[in-house]
């Protein structure tokens, strides 16, 4: 992660196993929350923990695809509930290919 990405509040980049860039928007307790710029459909984000990834609806917190441990999923859904409006704004910015801001991690 560059020093600019660390200090600017903007999302940094996560490289997936397929070496595709995906902006990170939060990290906590080993969970990485990220969002692709080019995805469409239901507003959602990706959460990765211990090599597993889950896709979660922003609106409902429902798992759309994938799996992570129950403990990690609880943390992901708690974070989504606390930051739902911020996630909506980030989703809209991603659709417009604008800069994505980071959200606070779970305490």
- CA 76/CA 68 separation, integer angstroms: 10
Tell me the whole-structure pTM to 2 decimals: 0.79
- CA 100/CA 56 separation, integer angstroms: 18
Q: Where are the domains of the chain?
A: 3-95
Q: What is the pLDDT of residues 21-43, one digit of tens each?
A: 678 999 999 999 999 887 778 99
- CA 27/CA 50 separation, integer angstroms: 13
pLDDT of res. 22:
73
pLDDT confidence band for 99 (50 / 70 / 90): confident
Q: What is the pLDDT of residues 67-92, one digit of tens each?
A: 999 999 999 999 999 999 999 999 99
Q: What is the pLDDT of residues 5-14, one digit of tens each?
A: 333 344 444 4
pLDDT of res. 2:
28
Angle at CA 70, nearest 5°, toward 51 and 41?
Answer: 70
pLDDT confidence band for 104 (50 / 70 / 90): very high
Q: Is 97 helix (H, G, I), strand (E, B) or coil?
A: coil
């Amino acid at each position: 992660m560059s020093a600019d990405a660390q200090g600017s509040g903007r999302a940094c980049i996560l490289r997936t196993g397929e070496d595709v860039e995906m902006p990170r928007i939060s990290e906590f307790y080993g969970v990485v929350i990220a969002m692709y710029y080019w995805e469409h459909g239901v507003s959602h984000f990706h959460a990765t923990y211990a090599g597993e990834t889950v896709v979660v609806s922003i609106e409902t917190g429902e798992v759309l695809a994938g799996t992570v441990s129950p403990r990690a999923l609880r943390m992901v859904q708690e974070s989504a509930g606390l930051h739902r409006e911020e996630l909506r704004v980030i989703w809209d910015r991603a659709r417009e290919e604008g800069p994505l801001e980071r959200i606070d991690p779970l305490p």
